[in-house]
């Protein structure tokens, strides 16, 4: 099972946080492509680890993909997403309500928002029922963040 070290940090903005997480996902992909090519050379190509390092030294992604496909019949695009994108663990609150969408739009325009006590209680109850999800999703593009806008708020 692939893994990496974990960190707890506080970033000054959601933009900084997204940039960091995007970099981690891109780095996961780069490292996995290298390791997939490296171990294919060692395990299936009958070369030693030093020779595999030399073969891969200075190569770019397209060259690693070509090595995998031409020598071993491996199409890297067919590898499981978990290995190419890593895993993201997040709270899922279900479908975004219309009220949340309106609130997010107001927030983006810099407007202050004040919730009623009743609304705050409903929101607290909804959040207490959140499901923890583990998925291998693209977090670099906007789609993931648009589908889970609460991940970018401090609520």
Higher-confidence residue: 116 or 81?
A: 81
Category of 79 on φ-ψ map: left (φ > 0), alpha (ψ -120 to 50) or beta: beta
Higher-confidence residue: 8 or 76?
A: 76
Q: Is 132's pLDDT higher than 60? A: yes
Cα 119 from chain centroid (whole Å): 32
Quote the pLDDT of residue 100.
47
pLDDT digits (tens, 9 = 90+) for 49-76: 999 999 999 999 999 999 999 999 999 9
Arithmetic mean of pLDDT over the chain: 83
Quote the pLDDT of residue 42.
97
Quote the pLDDT of residue 125.
74
Which has the closest alpha carbon to 15: 6, 7, 23?
23
């Amino acid at each position: 099972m692939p893994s990496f070290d974990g960190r707890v940090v506080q970033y000054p903005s959601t933009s900084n946080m997204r940039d960091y997480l995007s970099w981690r996902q891109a780095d996961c992909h780069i490292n996995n492509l290298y390791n997939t090519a490296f171990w294919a050379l060692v395990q299936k190509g009958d070369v030693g680890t030093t020779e595999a390092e030399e073969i891969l030294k200075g190569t770019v992604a397209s060259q690693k993909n070509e090595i995998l496909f031409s020598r071993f019949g491996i199409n890297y695009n067919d590898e499981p997403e978990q290995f190419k994108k890593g895993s993201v663990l997040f709270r899922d609150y279900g479908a975004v309500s219309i009220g949340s969408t309106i609130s997010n739009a107001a927030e983006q325009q810099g407007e202050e928002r004040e919730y009623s006590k009743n609304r705050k209680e409903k929101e607290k109850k909804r959040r207490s029922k959140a499901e923890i999800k583990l998925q291998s999703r693209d977090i670099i593009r906007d789609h993931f963040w648009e589908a889970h806008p609460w991940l970018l708020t401090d609520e």
